[in-house]
Structures are given as structure tokens and as C-alpha cells.
A = this chain, B = another copy of it.
């Protein structure tokens, strides 16, 4: 799929509107107006509103390359966990709108193609975590009674929750400090990465 400049312009506007107002809550007229294009261009370029959504998912869904990290002999299991956390948070903070859309879509639980894709994502993340834990346990670094599914849930859930409510935290923290939007985002990114690393180190290595 070749993406002309105008197509990208529409896609990125759609992403922003779908994230805040939802798919059904965004009209193609709003979308066209915000993107600065004629109403008919959306059907002309993408076929339909639904297909625009599919295109957005194809455009944004990048295969997470977890295997590289897993097979890296130079890293300890805990370092691999840290790497996984950094990668995930980085991904969410680089594409906040898209991840908000994913949060919305995963509640639909329909049998669309998107639902299938989300299932795969989750399954891979969970399998990766399970392998990492097993490796760490074999080496004696990690404790024994660990729940891989719950751990993945904590990483994704905490990050998704933060990106969904970032405005709130900007409002709360601005009473003290006064940062630009970009500075604030960078601060929060660092904070959640540090927090998750500390959290995972504690739960993985701390004896019960």
C-alpha cells in the first residue's frame, strides 16, 4: 500500500479523532474538515470509513521483534525484562493515539480482523514473558511462583492507563511544576519506565 502525503494526512487525523472520540463518535465530515480535505476524498482514497480503520491498523501495526532480545546471550534475564519494558513504553508513547484506539477496540470483543490481530499480539507478549521467566528461574535469578499473564497485564495495563489519562496527570502535576507538553511527556515516560523496572525487579527477584 503506497501512502501519498494526503492519504497520510487523513490517516493521522483519523487516528487522533478515533482515539479521543471513538470510531462511531467521529463522523467522516468532522474528519474531512479537520484534515482539510473534501468529504468525498475519504471514500475516494480508502473506499469507506471502515476500510480507513483497517488501513490505519495495517499502517501502525509493526511486528514486535521479541526474538532478538530473547536470544541475546549477553543479557541477563532481568536485563531482558528491562529491555522489554523500555520497548513497550517507548512504543506506546510514540503512538499514543493508536494505542488509545487499541484500548477501545479490545473492549469490543467482536470477531473482526482487528480482534484477531489483537489476540495474536497478546498471545505473543504472554509467550515471550513466560519464556523469559522460565529462563530466569533456571538461572536461579527469579523466584518460582510467578504469574506470567498477570505480569504482562501489569506492564501493558499500567502503560495504557497512563497514556489514556495523561491529560489528568498533566493537570495534577502542573500545580507544582510548569512544563511544556513535550517536556511533560518525556518526564512521565521516564517515570513509568523507572517504576515498571523497579516493580518487576522487586517481584521477580524478591523472595516471598
Contact = CB atoms under 8 A, between A and B. Distances in A.
A208 interface: yes
A199 B203 contact: yes
A158 interface: yes
Contacts of A206: 202, 206
Interface in A120-156: 122-123, 126, 147, 149-151, 153-154, 156
Count this chain's copies in the assembly: 2
B154 A199 contact: yes
21 contacts: A20-B109, A21-B108, A22-B25, A23-B25, A103-B103, A104-B107, A107-B164, A118-B168, A119-B168, A147-B191, A149-B169, A150-B192, A151-B195, A153-B158, A153-B161, A154-B154, A154-B199, A157-B160, A157-B161, A202-B202, A206-B206
Interface of A: 19-25, 100, 103-104, 106-109, 118-119, 122-123, 126, 147, 149-151, 153-154, 156-162, 164-165, 167-169, 171-172, 191-192, 194-195, 198-199, 202-203, 206, 208
